[in-house]
Amino acid sequence: MTRTRYLAVALLLTLMLLLLLGPYAASAATNDGERLSLAGILKNPQGQGVKEVAVTVLVNGQPVKPANGEEIITDKSGSFLAEFLLPAGTLPGARVEVTASKPSWRPLEPTPVTVLTAGFDKTGIRLFQAQAEFPMKRAITPAFWIATAVLLLVYLLIAAELMHRTLAAMLGAVLLLFISYTAGTFNKEYFILSFDDAIHAIDMNVIFLLMGMMIIVGVLKKTGMFQWLAYQSYALARGNIFILSAILMVVTAVCSAFLDNVTTMLLMIPVTIEIAITLKVNPISLLIPEVFASNVGGTATLIGDPPNILIGSYANLTFMDFVTNLTVIVVVCMVMTVIYYLFWYKKAYQQAEVKDVERTIAFMSVQYRIKDKRLANLGLAFLAFTIFLFIIHGVLHMEPAIAALSGAMFLLAISRVDIVEMLEHEVEWPTLIFFIALFMVIAGAEETGLIQIIAEWVRDVSGGNLTVAVIMVLWVSAIASAFIDNIPFTATMLPIVAFLNTSIPGAESGILWWSLALGACLGGNGTMIGASANVVTVGLAEKAGYHISFLGYIKACFIPMLISVALANAFLLVATFVRPLTMSR
């Protein structure tokens, strides 16, 4: 009996002990591993994160998979975070390294990371953590040469007029994607651009801004508004085409400073064509000076030209920063523009038929009347509403495209104008598709490193000399923006200029931002594809039956572009040594 009692007590004590020590026993049973949390970011030489990089983690030289079994890919910011389950006793003594790879980039050599002890989790597993930055450098691969060749091919096809510019751009975009998903599938060195990246590269703000303004302009055209404006402009100039051309250039420049240059040209082109028809001169002799003036005038303000919008946002520059620092040089460049084109098109202007000015004005006052006053008033009201939204869009954090589409859709809804008619006849679809395709082709050049290599060259050659840096940023931006759309080039140059501002003595004043703005905006005048306003002007002129060739555009615009940039160069050098430019803080 006593023995039985002792056994019962021993069994009871054993059960109580198991109940008390159960969690610790379970912890000991599961404490057969360690958990490593590794965070990192892969950056290019300018300090920007590199997206979609495949990351591999090595422990003592052997690759290990994350706990979730998924491949490690950096996000849009270039960052990654992964957790690993390792055998007990591996850390902290093991060698932990990171490697990475991405097409058109040099593979990251195994780079060691420092592992720190972080304690234990609730199950008793020992925790470790590590975080680090890893540098990525561009590699010259077959994809780089293909993207460069395709970009040059597109420009060659446009310049030689071997095919329509929209077809040339679409062909280039399709070639990049076709090669990426054929040769690039089997060899990553031939992968140029993913479909997702191509779609992401399309600046829908530009596309919808153009579409919205085309619709507003289309509605106003139905009222006879532009014919009436043609009559008023002609009456103001009293038939003198030289004065008329100067007036049109100045009006275009001023409007471009407070709207954007694309919108301004959309409004001015129909008026200009009407005037040219009346005077029996080729509208091109008025349109090219106008679009040149549009890009010059748009340089003066934050909202006048897309590169300025990018620069202002990145560098936190205000509307008044641009006005205060750039108005003087813009006025000087405008004076040069007016004088140059009055001489350049002197022969064309002299051929204008100006007979009996008073009789012509009287005839135009009857012929060019506003046909629908109600629709004209509605159109002007919603145009004013749209312009107001453009002016305050920075305060509202509203994209300009929203302003344009809002004005266009509200106008169509209230006026009851047929939207199908507007989309079919007033929206210039070949121009919009050209923009879409060109964005893709430029994205290929960006993804493979062409634009970045150009930007890095500026940084390396300038060294630590502020004067050299000012000249380099200005001229490289100008020449590149003439042949490569100034929007993606400006976006690529932003971190370069930011780095130069902190590494070059004297650059903290922000003068390099103004070098970039002047170079990108004025340089965009060099060719018909250098700026959005140029493309719109060429497209609408062609739609009206007046063809502007690529080489013809260069012949008329490249020399005055160089003169305007030279004037900007002198202005910046004076600002560097005499009156420093300033920024609000």
Model confidence over 386-437: pLDDT tens digits? 888 877 877 788 888 898 899 999 999 999 888 898 898 888 898 889 889 9
Average pLDDT over residues 78-99: 90
- Chain centre distance of CA 512: 19
More confident residue, 364 or 19: 364
pLDDT of residue 4: 52
pLDDT of residue 581: 59
Closest to 72 (Cα-Cα) out of 109, 92, 101: 101
Whether 303 and 390 have beta carbons less than 8 Å apart is answered as yes
Is the pLDDT at 25 greater than 50? The verdict is no
Of the pLDDT bands very low, low, confident and very high (cuts 50, 70, 90), residue 89 is confident
pLDDT of residue 580: 58
Q: What's the chain's average pLDDT?
A: 84
Lowest mean pLDDT among 24-28, 242-246, 349-353, 399-403: 24-28
Of the pLDDT bands very low, low, confident and very high (cuts 50, 70, 90), residue 17 is very low
Of the pLDDT bands very low, low, confident and very high (cuts 50, 70, 90), residue 29 is very low
Is the pLDDT at 112 greater than 50? The verdict is yes
Strands of the sheet containing 126-135, edge to edge, are 79-87, 33-43, 126-135, 116-120
More confident residue, 532 or 72: 72
Of the pLDDT bands very low, low, confident and very high (cuts 50, 70, 90), residue 503 is confident
Span 444-460, pLDDT tens digits: 988 888 877 776 777 77
Whether 53 and 105 have beta carbons less than 8 Å apart is answered as yes
Parts of the chain belonging to CATH 2.60.130.10: 31-135
What count of other Cβ atoms lies within 10 Å of the Cβ of residue 164? 14
Lowest mean pLDDT among 209-213, 413-417, 481-485, 528-532: 481-485
Span 272-309, pLDDT tens digits: 887 888 788 899 999 999 999 999 999 998 777 888 87
Asked if omega into 92 is within 30° of 0 (cis), the reply is yes
Is the pLDDT at 63 greater than 90? The verdict is yes
User: Torsion over CA of 421, 268, 486 and 318, rounded to 10 degrees?
Assistant: -110
CA 144/CA 149 separation, integer angstroms: 9
More confident residue, 310 or 248: 248
Q: Which listed CATH number (1.10.3720.10, 2.60.130.10, 1.10.3980.10, 3.40.50.10490) goes with 31-135?
A: 2.60.130.10
What count of other Cβ atoms lies within 10 Å of the Cβ of residue 111? 16
Is the pLDDT at 23 greater than 80? The verdict is no
CA 36/CA 121 separation, integer angstroms: 12
Closest to 150 (Cα-Cα) out of 187, 175, 125, 124: 175
Span 243-276, pLDDT tens digits: 889 988 998 898 888 766 787 788 788 888 878 8
pTM for the whole structure: 0.75
Span 544-582, pLDDT tens digits: 888 888 899 999 999 999 999 999 999 999 887 765 555
Is the pLDDT at 116 greater than 70? The verdict is yes
pLDDT of residue 203: 82
Closest to 194 (Cα-Cα) out of 105, 106, 72, 103: 103
Give the 3-state secondary structure of residue 36. Answer: strand
Portion of the chain with pLDDT greater than 90, in percent: 35
pLDDT of residue 28: 41
Whether 94 and 128 have beta carbons less than 8 Å apart is answered as no
Portion of the chain with pLDDT greater than 70, in percent: 90
